[in-house]
């Protein structure tokens, strides 16, 4: 499950992507206000994204943050990994931080790991295939889709009263 911290990181990155290109740095307070995120919590998130080379920053008056690369070159997967770590549901299925489960008899034949690798590949494929630019471009179209995947139905007006 995506942590609140990673979700806030994505929201902050999308604010910065909306202001790309440009030399203007966006202040933490401006992002925090726009996204209704605690400034203190957002500062720690932005530092982690900077340390992962996703953001550039400058301290002091006129300081703030901006994307280190074009929005199309920053994927949701990269951002989530920078904050939450591996995308895999279990570390034994991680490509970047593999670690065998303590109770595993044989990693090579583990049927649970087999399923987790499939899940990891599907999740990573989707998140790596979605850049900040893609999210900005497709946001309006996707927002109209109901969480169940179906388009919301229009409410029909109540039937007119019958005349006797």
| Alpha-carbon radius of gyration of the chain | 21
Mean pLDDT in residue range 149-154 = 51
Position 86 scores a pLDDT of 85
Structure tokens at 129: 């295939």
Contact 144, 25 (CB under 8 A): no
For 144, the 3-state DSSP assignment is coil
H or E stretch including 40?
helix 39-51
What was the pLDDT predicted at 34?
A: 92
Percent residues over pLDDT 70 in the chain: 84
Place of tokens 């990693």: 107
Please give the structure tokens belonging to residue 142. Answer: 């996707």
Count the alpha carbons within 13 Å of 79 in the hemisphere toward its beta carbon.
Answer: 30
pLDDT tens for 22-52 read 778 999 999 999 999 999 999 999 999 999 9
By CB neighbour count within 10 A (0-12 exposed, 13-18 middle, 19+ buried), where does 74 fall? Answer: buried
pLDDT in tens, 82-130: 999 988 888 888 888 888 888 888 888 888 888 988 999 999 999 999 9
Domain parsing of the chain, residue ranges = 4-139
Long-range CB pairs of 34-42, under 8 A, 24+ apart, other chains included: 35/8, 35/11, 37/8, 37/11, 37/12, 41/5, 41/8, 42/8, 42/12
Task: Name, in order, each residue with C-beta under 8 angstroms of 146's C-beta and a sequence gap of 6 or more.
Answer: 152
As a CATH number, domain 4-139 is 1.10.10.10
Q: Quote the tokens at residue 123.
A: 């999740």
Which segments of 57-128 does DSSP mark as H helices, in order? 76-84, 111-128
Q: How many CB atoms lie within 10 A of CB 100?
A: 13
Question: Which helix (H) or strand (E) segment is 23 a member of?
Answer: none
């Amino acid at each position: 499950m995506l942590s609140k911290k990673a979700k806030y990181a994505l929201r902050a990155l999308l604010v910065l992507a909306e202001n790309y290109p440009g030399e203007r740095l966006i202040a933490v307070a401006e992002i925090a206000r726009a996204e209704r995120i605690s400034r203190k919590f957002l500062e720690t998130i932005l530092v982690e994204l900077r340390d992962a080379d996703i953001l550039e920053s400058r301290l002091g008056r006129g300081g703030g943050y901006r994307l280190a690369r074009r929005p199309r070159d920053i994927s949701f997967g990269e951002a989530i990994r920078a904050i939450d770590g591996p995308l895999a549901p279990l570390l034994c299925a991680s490509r970047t931080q593999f670690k065998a489960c303590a109770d595993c008899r044989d990693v090579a034949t583990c049927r649970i790991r087999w399923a987790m690798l499939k899940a990891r590949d599907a999740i990573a494929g989707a998140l790596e295939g979605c850049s900040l630019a893609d999210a900005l471009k497709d946001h309006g179209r996707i927002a109209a889709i109901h969480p169940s995947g179906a388009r919301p139905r229009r409410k029909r007006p109540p039937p007119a009263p019958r005349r006797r």
